[in-house]
Amino acid sequence: MTAVVRTAKAWREARPAQGYLGFVPTMGALHDGHRSLIERSGQENDATVVSIYVNPTQFDDPADHARYPRTWDADLVLLETLGVDFVFAPEYSVIYPDDGRFTVQERGLSDRLCGPHREGHFVGVLTVVTRLLNLIRPTRAYFGEKDYQQYLLVRGLVDAMLMDVEVVPCLTVRAADGLAVSSRNRSLSEPGRAIAGRLFEALTTLASVTQVRSVLEEEGFDLQYVEELDGRRFAAVVLDGVRLIDNVPLPHSREADPPLH
């Protein structure tokens, strides 16, 4: 049975004293992408803890935070089904006993791609990840490649702060039409969902960034960026008021801009 832990003290008492511990940080509204991370953690560790915490400091729009889907009952059923050992579901005061006075900021990679479009987002992400990793103290932490920029930042954070944890990237899970699975997808209208998969199609089939931009605009996507960096093609778009991101590796024969890290 999955044990629900809500405070730092309770986690310190519940944390397994021995064996490998896998950690999957989430904001809930769990989907097949989360499932893949959890299943991999279960294969590689003696125990797995999943956090569910909708972190307010990574939202640049308070309204976006307020409408983020919260599906606790369904999430807990899924975690029980997957055999997760622990769910860490803290309140704000547990994660931010200082009320957010201390933050973690990176200079460089966080200023690119999503950075200019989401003020303060990566400060919030890196701050909450630092706090969670310091508290959970996992052997391995699992992150999806859909948020590839976030994965690179977390990996750099762990290296820079000398944290004793392995950051494990996991392949993006996709719907049948190629759309990267995301909690935000459920906010798309039926017509929006019908064309959303064309983002992946454009990223993987068109020869140039210019072509990708042109086709996506014609399809009705509002573009934030389409860029090629570090051997990958990245995009962020808005459809039906929903922000979608994706990235794909470029063929080895192609040249890209300087590395992200």
> Rounded CA gap, 67 and 74, in Å?
17
| 8 Å CB contact between 34 and 25 | no
Q: Which of 31, 34, 252, 261 is catalytic?
A: 34
Spatial CA neighbour of 132 closest among 65, 59, 49? 49
Annotation says 34 is catalytic = yes
For residue 50, what are the β-bridge partners? 24, 87
In this structure, the number of other CB atoms found within 10 A of the CB of residue 35 comes to 17
User: Pick from 176, 193, 158, 179: which is nearest to 25 by CA?
Assistant: 158
Question: The tokens of 86 are what?
Answer: 């622990």
Of 61, 64, 34, the closest CA to residue 48 belongs to 34
The catalytic residue positions are 34
